């Protein structure tokens, strides 16, 4: 089953869900708007918990790490085999772009609805998906799910033909979960230790610069 999340921003760790879209048959997709009220939103998302946490159902998507992290805010732990069209396309064509819009034009000869048409160009005046009419978001999100499913069916065959099955299914796809865990957990920094290192390295650099100038016999900008 292909799914996609629509959120209020581009950082999954800081954004809220606006909606969920699903597709399991080409040419047909479904969109579920998610409430702005957190308590109500949680109830809505929980309805889909049996699907997301069923490890026997393959999850298909474009940049699935983002969706996995978005759902963790709602206590959902996505499980099961993954098929990420972005990663599949990267393995097949590492030198090309891997966005869904580009792949849709390349593989399907189809021009998708671009997100900028909904929320405007990047910048401080860009709107949130929450501000867009629900029907417009529905059309956009459902198209995303449907197109991604169609791309999956084509890329899957290319993966097989190029003998990338092991690399894709056993290495790259499981790594999505690992990277999501790393991003969710974060990295703990010892700021005091880093500050001490900064002082030590600065002192060492100043000493090295002084030695270089002494060897040159005249003052000059060592960093030039």
Report, as ranges of residue numbers, the positions in the chain whose pLDDT lies below 50: none
pLDDT at res. 224: 76
Domain ranges of the chain: 2-185, 189-224
The predicted structure's pLDDT at residue 121: 84
Alpha helices in the chain (DSSP H): 38-47, 49-52, 64-72, 85-92, 100-103, 116-119, 134-161, 165-166, 173-185, 191-216
Size of the chain in residues: 224
Please report the pLDDT score of residue 127 as a whole number: 87
Q: What is the pLDDT of residue 123?
A: 81
Among the CATH numbers 3.40.605.10, 3.30.420.10, 3.40.109.10, 3.55.30.10, which is that of 2-185? Answer: 3.30.420.10
Beta bridge mates, 32: 20
- Whether residue 132 contacts residue 118, with contact meaning beta carbons closer than 8 Å, is answered with yes
CA atoms within 13 A of residue 222's CA, in its CB half-sphere: 14
Supply the pLDDT for residue 88.
Answer: 98
Angle at 149 between CA 42 and CA 21, to 5 degrees: 20
C-alpha to C-alpha distance for 103 and 94, rounded to whole angstroms: 13
């Amino acid at each position: 089953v292909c799914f996609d999340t629509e959120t209020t921003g581009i950082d999954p760790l800081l954004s809220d869900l606006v909606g969920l879209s699903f597709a399991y048959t080409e040419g047909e997709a479904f969109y579920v708007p998610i409430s702005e009220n957190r308590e109500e939103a949680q109830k809505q998302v929980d309805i889909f918990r049996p699907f997301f946490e069923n490890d026997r159902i393959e999850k298909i998507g474009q940049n699935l790490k983002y969706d996995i992290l978005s759902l963790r805010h709602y206590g959902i732990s996505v499980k099961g085999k993954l098929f990420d069209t972005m990663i599949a396309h990267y393995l097949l064509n590492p030198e090309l772009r891997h966005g869904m819009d580009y792949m849709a034009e390349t593989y399907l000869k189809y021009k998708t609805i671009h997100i900028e048409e909904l929320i405007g160009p990047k910048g401080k005046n860009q709107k949130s998906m929450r501000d867009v009419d629900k029907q417009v978001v529905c059309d956009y999100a459902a198209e995303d799910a449907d197109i991604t499913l169609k791309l999956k069916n084509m890329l899957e065959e290319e993966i097989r033909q190029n003998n990338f099955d092991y690399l894709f299914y056993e290495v790259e796809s499981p790594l999505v979960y690992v990277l999501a865990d790393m991003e969710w957990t974060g990295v703990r920094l010892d700021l005091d230790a880093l500050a001490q290192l900064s002082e030590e390295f600065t002192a060492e650099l100043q000493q090295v610069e002084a030695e270089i100038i002494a060897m040159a016999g005249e003052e000059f900008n060592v960093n030039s």
